[in-house]
Every structure is written in structure tokens, then in C-alpha cells.
Structure 1
Amino acid sequence: MIATGTPAPDFTLPDSEGRMVSLSSFRGKKVLLVFYPGDDTPVCTAQLCDYRNNVSEFTRRGIEVLGLSADSSESHKSFAGRHQLPFTLLSDSEKEVATAYGAIGFLGMSQRAYVLIDEEGTVQLAYSDFLPITYQPMKDLLLKIDEA
């Protein structure tokens, strides 16, 4: 994973509507990048729905959430709509962003990982789950965020 204290690499990716979204457009806000293996998989769905159910905790901390996987914008649109996800999903189809952040697993898939970036664009926290069959529960994620 990318080291804490380092500048977060900028990127521009399409969202679920095909609009291009750049990390730099969030300068002045905290951003949580949530890397996940794929839409509509059991663990990813549980993870993102857990974050959806607790989105007020991110809002209270002034954190914008961006979900990233290699799935297409169309897949993200369907997935977000079906599960009423209130945050932006970005299509990293070439896995360039996952690679830049060190979030590629041994099978070439995006790991289940997250990176907290501060208002100035510096990495404050980086974490990845070794096994893609589990995810960091919201309460544990918030503890790590609050400690960062």
C-alpha cells in the first residue's frame, strides 16, 4: 500500500454516469478511497451497504467517499442504484489507480483496501485486507480514521 505521509497521486476516472471525476477536485476536503474487487459480489455488497448504512459517520467527519473497482461505469450505475449507494463509484478499468496506490492483489485484482487523504492531498491512512473474503467493519474503520 501507499505510504502514509506521501502525496496522494492524482487521477481522473469516469463515475457511474460517465462523468470524469478527478481527485484534485476534492482538494480542501478529506477523501476516503475505497478499493474493492467487484460490483455485486457478496462481500463487496455487504461492505458498501455497511458504509451506506453509516454514511452519516463519514459526513460528520467531513469525509467524501469514493468507491473504486475495475468494473465499468454501467456496472457501477446498476450496482449503486440497486443498493442505493449514496457515494460516487469510479471505474478504474485499467487498474492504474489501484496500482498507483498499491491496492492490486496477487491475482491482479483490486484488493479490498482504503486510503484516507487529507484536505491538502496527503495520505493519512492506508489499509488493505490480505484476504478478499472479509472487510473492515465500519466501527473498526472509523476507529482507524479517528486515530489518523
Structure 2
Amino acid sequence: MSEDFPLPDDLPVPEDDGAADHLQGMEMPDVSLPATDGTTVDLQELPPRTVVYVYPLTGRPDEDVIPDGWEAVPGARGCTPESRGFRSHYDELRDNGVGEVFGLSTQTSEYQREARDRLQLPFEMLSDAERELATELDLPRFTIEGDRYLNRLTLIVTDGRIEHVFYPIFPPDEHASEVLEWVQDNPGE
């Protein structure tokens, strides 16, 4: 499989603006989201030690859906390489006590399904197209060309509560390794 959407060397680095500081320790809200396998996932009933990586937008090799100026937004670019990283480390994460991994964006499940299948992801993607979770948790967002996108971040959810937050994330293609290292250094109960 070709490595579509490679990261440029001059990718702008996001800075910690404090927009995710409130998340650690929060209880997951009473929100259920559709998954790419056609099921609905209750976020209060996640398996112990679930990794939810939030990303703004996945591109498609057959469509030009990336807004103009995307590469200039720190942290916007890199959703596909980040997903490939979680694919590569999925078994190691599971072997180290992670119950499940989910990708999450505001794209529809139908759109996300193409990426899941093309990238051969061993986990499902969750759609927050109605922005229920984004609103309940007040997730950080950015606007480009009049559309709002979720900032890239990762939540480690244990027993219905956000145990740890990774934010900002850079570089996105190395982030799954960072999550794996954190999980190994912080074993669950």
C-alpha cells in the first residue's frame, strides 16, 4: 500500500494554548456515537483503558477535501499518518492493558469507513458529526474556510473518566509511540 499523505518537513508545530487543560479527570459524558462498523458506542461504557485519538479531518486520495490553508494550521496536517501509527502499535497497546482504540472526528461514519478500510485499521472510528462530544467536553477546535474542526488530541479513558490527555500532538506520525510509552510507564490496575 502506498504511503498517501506524507508529512512535509516544514510542518508548523502546534503550541499548548491550554485549551485542553480542563479535560483530565473529567467524566465521559452521556453520549453515544456511531462507529464505522455500524454499531453505536456509549462513551460512558468504554472498555477499561481506552485510547480515543481525536483528529480534525482525514483526506482521501480520490478527492480533494482538504481546505485551502490547511498546511499552515499548526496541528491540522497528519491524520492519515497518525492513524497508520495507531494501526502499527495496536497489538502492543492491547498487550499493555489498553482495552480498545478509537479514532474520532466530526466526519460521518460513511466517510471514515473509507479511511478505515483503505488504511486497514484494526479498530473503529467514531463520528461526532453532530458535535455532541465536542460540546459536552468543550474540546478545542479551530476554524478554516468557515468550517470548524477538532484539534488533534488523545484521551486515555479509564473507568468512564479521562485519565490522561495528550495535547498538543506533534509530530502526528510518532504520536502512537508516545501513547504506547505512556501506557507502559503507567500500568493500569
Shared topology, TM-score over 0.5? Answer: yes
Pairing 1:1-148 to 2, within 5 Å after superposition: 1=20, 2-27=22-47, 29-40=48-59, 43-63=78-98, 64-107=100-143, 108-118=148-158, 120-129=159-168, 134-135=171-172, 137-148=175-186
Q: What is the alpha-carbon distance in structure 2 between the residues aligned to residue 104 and residue 94 of structure 1?
A: 15
Partners of 2:96 and 2:135 in 1: how far apart? 27
CA shift digits 1:99-127 (9 cap, x unpaired):
33343323231111011011x21211012
- Bigger mean CA deviation after superposition, 67-76 or 120-129: 120-129
Q: Distance in 2 between matches of 1:58 and 1:96?
A: 27
Instruction: Give 1 or 2 for the bigger CA radius of gyration.
Output: 2
Secondary structure of the structure 2 residue equivalent to 1:54: helix
Q: RMSD of aligned C-alpha atoms?
A: 2.1
Q: Provide the identity percentage.
A: 26
CA distance in 2, matches of 1:4, 1:146: 19
- Structure 1 CA distance for aligned equivalents of residues 92 and 24 of structure 2: 22
Query: Do the aligned partners of 2:104 and 2:128 also contact (CA within 8 Å) in 1?
Result: yes
Name whichever structure is richer in helix by fraction: 1
Name the CA distance, whole Å, in 2 between partners of 1:91 and 1:5: 23
Q: Is this contact kept in 1: 2:54–2:105, CA < 8 A?
A: yes
Post-superposition offset of 1:147: 4.4
Normalising by structure 2, report the TM-score. 0.67
Task: Find the aligned partners of 1:147 and 1:111 in 2 and give their Cα distance.
Answer: 26
Is the Cα–Cα contact under 8 Å of residues 5 and 123 in structure 1 kept in the other structure?
Answer: yes
Whole-Å Cα distance in 2 between the matches of residues 128 and 103 of structure 1? Answer: 11
Q: Distance in 1 between matches of 2:44 and 2:136?
A: 15
The code of the aligned residue for 1:113 comes to L
| Unaligned residue ranges in structure 2 (runs of 5+) | 1-19, 61-76
Q: Which moved more, 1:135-144 or 1:92-101?
A: 135-144
Q: TM-score, normalised by structure 1?
A: 0.84
The alpha carbon displacement at 1:140 in A equals 2.0
- Unaligned runs of at least 5 residues, structure 1: none
- For this pair of structures, how many residues does the alignment match? 144
